[in-house]
Amino acid sequence: SRRQRRDGPHRTRLSSAPDTGHNRMTDGVEPGVTGQQLRNVRLLVAYDGTDFRGFAESDGVRTVEGELRGAIERVVRRPVELVLGGRTDAGVHGWGQVVNGRLPVETDLYRLMSSINQLLRPEISVRDPAWVDDAFSARFSATSRTYRYDIWNDRSPNPLVARHAWHIGPAVDIEPMNTAAGFLLGNHDFSSFCRKPKPGPGYGEPSLQRELHHARWRRPDSSALVRFEITASSFCHQMVRSIVGTLVDVGFGRIDAAEIPAILAARDRNAAGQVAPPTGLTLWHIGFDGPRWDAAV
């Protein structure tokens, strides 16, 4: 059976050793509670999020992290804490999710990968496992995150992509959508595109200031597939889906592309457009400083 967290919904405990690197480890190895030598490992994780209640563990629901951690513990036969590179909501997918945690130094990583994939296929897959030094944190070492959003833009739905793309029948015009996306680039307060977070006890409201590096719509081939790719240092809750929904409204002519600066300035979620469904969203890549930490795609 899978252990469930007791620290509240959508909250993930960090690794048993702090991410700052101020611990007893030498050259990335530390003594565990049972006397085993532990080492920091990085895993690249892909998953179909359709039937999960998000990635991060939460009491009483099925999550990607809960299944992944349970499989790892079954293989290494000891408790494991995971650090997440990015949280994804219920129904959102992942191709380039990154996690790290501490495992016994004698662990054969490729045997571990094979065992996890046997246990969790076809919904979850681990690839490109690698030992990393103690300073690496999937969360705090990350410098960028890239998402993709797919739309199947055709009168007839496509059952082969239905779990991974938003079906929109009427044609959307991606030219004004790209014009609108250009106004979002740079450093802005994205309050108009984020679900307002609830501050913790004793804390003020967290900043929704984010720096957007890239945002572009394209048609990858001659099919009805329309793809949006967006990269930022980090994202706030529902930011990508709110941006996608608003830009689709632009593509339908419901919102003029030139209105985007005013929507940003309003800092009001009601000023923006619809929220796109989670179906088409995939966490595609997490970037890190330095080639030794940057997960392959």
Q: Between 64-76 and 109-120, two packed helices, what is the crossing angle to 10 degrees?
A: 130
Task: Evaluate whether residue 297 is within a structural domain.
Answer: no
Domain with residue 115: its CATH number is: 3.30.70.580
Both structure tokens of 30: 């530390």
Say yes or no to pLDDT of 160 above 50: yes
User: Catalytic site residue 294?
Assistant: no
Range of the domain at 275: 142-284
Pairwise CA distance, residues 143 & 288, whole Å: 5
pLDDT in tens, 79-123: 999 999 999 999 999 999 999 999 999 999 999 999 999 999 999
pLDDT in tens, 75-89: 999 999 999 999 999
Q: Which of 19, 89, 134, 150 is catalytic?
A: 89
Name the residue with higher pLDDT: 161 or 29.
161
Beta-carbon contacts of 175 under 8 Å, excluding residues fewer than 6 positions away, are none
Do 106 and 199 fall into the same domain? no
Say yes or no to pLDDT of 1 above 50: no
Task: Evaluate whether residue 290 is within a structural domain.
Answer: no
Entry pTM: 0.85
Pairwise CA distance, residues 165 & 174, whole Å: 16
Do 243 and 153 fall into the same domain? yes
What's the pLDDT band for 214 if we cut at 50, 70, 90? very high
Domain-terminating residue out of 140, 172, 200? 140
Beta-carbon contacts of 60 under 8 Å, excluding residues fewer than 6 positions away, are 4
Do 187 and 77 fall into the same domain? no
